[in-house]
């Protein structure tokens, strides 16, 4: 089952998996950022459950840019380490693609850390995503 996480308690439940991808965040920072991102950027969090257990989490937001047009940006996608290689990432990413398609978006895009070689093989090999650019960041 895939469920949208809308309340503080649901966000905290999702954080237990999200922190594997975002270990620099504590619960307080996570809650503040999710709340602000939902209010300002239409950010959404969905969790994939196996029974009563969250096994994978994604955060994404619709965007309109001159480069991608009407697209959905996947900000976060993580499967709990003990549940990897069971198809959960594919299920969540396919869910996002369908969510976007049903709302008239033209593409789904994401960024992945240079060190995440397994993730790159997944995106390109299993999900048919194309490597189209580098992402750059400057701390202020």
Answer whether residue 132 is part of any domain. no
Q: Is residue 48 part of a domain?
A: yes
* CATH classification at residue 81: 3.40.630.30
Q: How many domains does the chain have?
A: 1
Closest among 1, 100, 85 to 47, alpha carbons compared: 1
Q: What is the pLDDT of residues 91-138, one digit of tens each?
A: 999 999 999 999 999 999 988 887 888 888 888 888 888 988 878 888
Q: Do 38 and 31 contact (CB within 8 A), yes or no? A: no
**DSSP three-state, residue 107:** strand
Domain-located, residue 108: yes
Average pLDDT over residues 42-57: 97
Is residue 136 domain-resident?
no
Residue 38: give the domain boundaries. 2-126
Is residue 30 pLDDT above 80, yes or no? yes
d(C-alpha 94, C-alpha 46), whole Å:
12
- Those residues whose C-beta lies under 8 Å from the C-beta of residue 72, and which sit 6 or more positions away, are 60, 61, 62, 63, 96, 99, 100, 105, 107, 108, 109
pTM: 0.90
DSSP letter assigned to residue 4: E
pLDDT tens-digit map of 61-101: 999 999 999 999 999 999 999 998 899 999 999 999 999 99
């Amino acid at each position: 089952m895939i469920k949208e996480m809308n309340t503080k308690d649901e966000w905290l439940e999702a954080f237990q998996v999200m922190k594997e991808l975002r270990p620099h965040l504590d619960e307080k920072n996570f809650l503040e950022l999710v709340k602000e991102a939902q209010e300002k950027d239409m950010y959404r969090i969905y969790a994939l459950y196996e029974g009563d257990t969250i096994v994978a989490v994604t955060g994404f937001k619709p965007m309109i840019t001159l480069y991608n047009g009407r697209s959905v940006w996947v900000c976060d996608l993580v499967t709990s380490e003990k549940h990897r290689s069971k198809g959960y990432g594919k299920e969540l990413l396919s869910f996002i693609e369908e969510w976007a398609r049903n709302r008239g978006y033209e593409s789904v895009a994401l960024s992945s850390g240079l060190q995440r070689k397994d993730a790159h093989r997944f995106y390109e090999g299993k999900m048919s995503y194309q490597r189209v650019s580098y992402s750059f960041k400057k701390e202020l």
